[in-house]
Structure 1
Amino acid sequence: MTVSDSRANAPQPEGRLSDNAVWTLVVVSVATFMLMLDLTVVNVALPDIRKSFDSSFSALQWVLDAYALGLAAILLAAGSLADRIGRKKVFDVGLVVFVIASLVCGLAQNDLTLILARFVQGLGGAILFAVGPALIGNEFHGKQRGMAFGVFGGVAGLAIAFGPLIGGGLAESAGWRWIFLINIPLTLAALAVGYTKVRESRGTTPPPVDWSGMVTFSAGLFFLVLAFMRGQADGWTSAQIIAYFVIAIVLLIVFAGLQISRPGRAMFDLTLFRNRTFNGLSIVTALCAIAVMSALFLLISYVQNVLGYSAFGAGVRLLPLTILMFVAAAASGSLVAKVAPSVIIGGSQLFITAGLACVLFVSDHSGWTALIPAMALIGIGMGMFSTPRGAFAIAVTTPDKSGMASGVNETFQQSGLAVGIAALGAYFQNRVNAAYNSTDIAAQLHDKAPGLGDVISAGGGREAAQSLPAQAAEQFQHAATSAYVSGLHHMMAVAAVIAAISAVVGVFLLRRSDLDESALANPGVPPEAAADPVRGVSAH
Structure 2
Amino acid sequence: MQSNRGTPLTPSQAASPHAAAVADSSVTRSASQQALILAGVCIAVLVLPLNFGGAAVSAPTIGTALRGSPVAINWILNAFMLSFGSSLMVAGALADLLGRKRVFAVGVALFAATSLGISAAPSLVWVDFLRALQGIAAALVLAGSSAALAQEFDGHGRARAFSMLGTTFGVGLALGPLLAGFLTQTFGWRSFFLADAAIGLTGFALGVPKLRESYDPHANGLDWPGAISFTAALTLFTFGLLQGPESGWSSPLIVALFVGAAVMAIAFVWIEGRVTRPMLDLSLFRYPRFVGVQVLPLATAFCYVTLLLVLPTRFIGIEGHTAIGAGLMMVSLSAPMLFVPLTAAHLTRWMSAGVISAIGLVIAAIGMLWFSGIGFDASATVLAIPLFVIGVGAGLPWGLMDGLSVSVVPKERAGMATGIFSTTRVAGEGMTLAVASAILAVLTRLRLADALPGSPDASAHAVTEAAQRVATGDLAHAAAFLPALGQPVLVHAYDGAFRVLLHMLVAITLASAIMVLGFLGRTPSPTSRDPASPTLS
1:240 to 228, 253, 277: 253
The separation in 2 between residues aligned to 1:151 and 1:338, in whole angstroms, is 25
Shift, 1:306, TM fit: 3.1
The separation in 1 between residues aligned to 2:489 and 2:366, in whole angstroms, is 28
Q: 1:237 to 1:335 in 2, by over 3 A?
A: same
2:475 to 461, 470, 476: 461
Deviates more, 1:75-84 or 1:144-153: 144-153
Q: Which runs of 5+ in 1 are unaligned?
A: 11-16, 522-540
Residues 199-220 of structure 1, C-alpha deviations (whole Å, 9 max, x = no match): 4445574454433433333334
> Which amino acid letter does the alignment assign opposite residue 520 of structure 2?
L
> Which amino acid letter does the alignment assign opposite residue 470 of structure 2?
I
Q: 1:508 to 1:328 in 2, by over 3 A?
A: same
For 2:389, the equivalent position in structure 1 comes to 377
Shift, 1:193, TM fit: 2.9
> Which amino acid letter does the alignment assign opposite residue 109 of structure 2?
V
1:159 to 169, 172, 175: 172
Shift, 1:490, TM fit: 0.3
Shift, 1:177, TM fit: 0.9
2:299 to 273, 280, 287: 287
Cα RMSD between the aligned structures? 3.7
Secondary structure of the 2:273 match is helix
* Pairing 1:30-429 to 2, within 5 Å after superposition: 30-136=43-149, 147-203=160-216, 205-206=218-219, 208-263=221-276, 265-332=277-344, 340-393=352-405, 404-429=416-441
Shift, 1:119, TM fit: 0.8
The separation in 2 between residues aligned to 1:442 and 1:37, in whole angstroms, is 47
Contact 1:325 1:379 in 2 (8 A): yes
The separation in 2 between residues aligned to 1:513 and 1:361, in whole angstroms, is 35
For 1:536, the equivalent position in structure 2 comes to none
For 1:505, the equivalent position in structure 2 comes to 515
Contact 2:60 2:317 in 1 (8 A): no
Shift, 1:402, TM fit: 6.0
The separation in 1 between residues aligned to 2:482 and 2:227, in whole angstroms, is 53
Deviates more, 1:511-520 or 1:276-285: 511-520
Contact 1:225 1:415 in 2 (8 A): no
The separation in 1 between residues aligned to 2:288 and 2:471, in whole angstroms, is 40
Shift, 1:276, TM fit: 3.3
Q: Which runs of 5+ in 2 are unaligned?
A: 5-22, 532-537
Q: 1:28 to 1:342 in 2, by over 3 A?
A: farther
Deviates more, 1:126-135 or 1:359-368: 126-135
The separation in 1 between residues aligned to 2:478 and 2:226, in whole angstroms, is 50
Residues 267-317 of structure 1, C-alpha deviations (whole Å, 9 max, x = no match): 333332233343222222123213422223332222223332100111123
The separation in 2 between residues aligned to 1:238 and 1:318, in whole angstroms, is 37
Contact 1:307 1:368 in 2 (8 A): no
Q: 1:315 to 1:204 in 2, by over 3 A?
A: same
Contact 1:130 1:410 in 2 (8 A): no
For 1:435, the equivalent position in structure 2 comes to 447
Secondary structure of the 2:400 match is helix
The separation in 2 between residues aligned to 1:20 and 1:397, in whole angstroms, is 36
Q: 1:338 to 1:362 in 2, by over 3 A?
A: same
The separation in 2 between residues aligned to 1:399 and 1:89, in whole angstroms, is 28
Secondary structure of the 1:414 match is helix
Residues 168-210 of structure 1, C-alpha deviations (whole Å, 9 max, x = no match): 1111222111221212222222223332333444557445443
Secondary structure of the 1:119 match is helix
Deviates more, 1:295-304 or 1:420-429: 295-304
The separation in 2 between residues aligned to 1:481 and 1:180, in whole angstroms, is 30
> Which amino acid letter does the alignment assign opposite residue 458 of structure 1?
T
Q: 1:243 to 1:436 in 2, by over 3 A?
A: closer
> Which amino acid letter does the alignment assign opposite residue 172 of structure 1?
Q
Q: What is the TM-score when the length of structure 2 is the normalising length?
A: 0.81
The separation in 1 between residues aligned to 2:392 and 2:28, in whole angstroms, is 37
Contact 2:352 2:525 in 1 (8 A): no
Secondary structure of the 2:507 match is helix
The separation in 2 between residues aligned to 1:511 and 1:24, in whole angstroms, is 39
The separation in 1 between residues aligned to 2:211 and 2:223, in whole angstroms, is 26
Deviates more, 1:495-504 or 1:405-414: 405-414
Secondary structure of the 1:261 match is coil
Contact 1:162 1:319 in 2 (8 A): yes
The alignment of Structure 1 onto Structure 2 pairs a total of residues equal to: 507
Contact 1:358 1:373 in 2 (8 A): no
For 1:486, the equivalent position in structure 2 comes to 496
Q: 1:214 to 1:36 in 2, by over 3 A?
A: same
Secondary structure of the 1:182 match is helix
Q: 1:231 to 1:51 in 2, by over 3 A?
A: closer
Q: What is the TM-score when the length of structure 1 is the normalising length?
A: 0.81
Contact 2:241 2:434 in 1 (8 A): yes
Q: 1:141 to 1:350 in 2, by over 3 A?
A: farther
Residues 296-340 of structure 1, C-alpha deviations (whole Å, 9 max, x = no match): 333222222333210011112333223323222454455568753
The alignment-based identity, stated in percent, is 27
The separation in 1 between residues aligned to 2:253 and 2:41, in whole angstroms, is 39
Contact 2:448 2:493 in 1 (8 A): yes
Q: 1:341 to 1:5 in 2, by over 3 A?
A: same
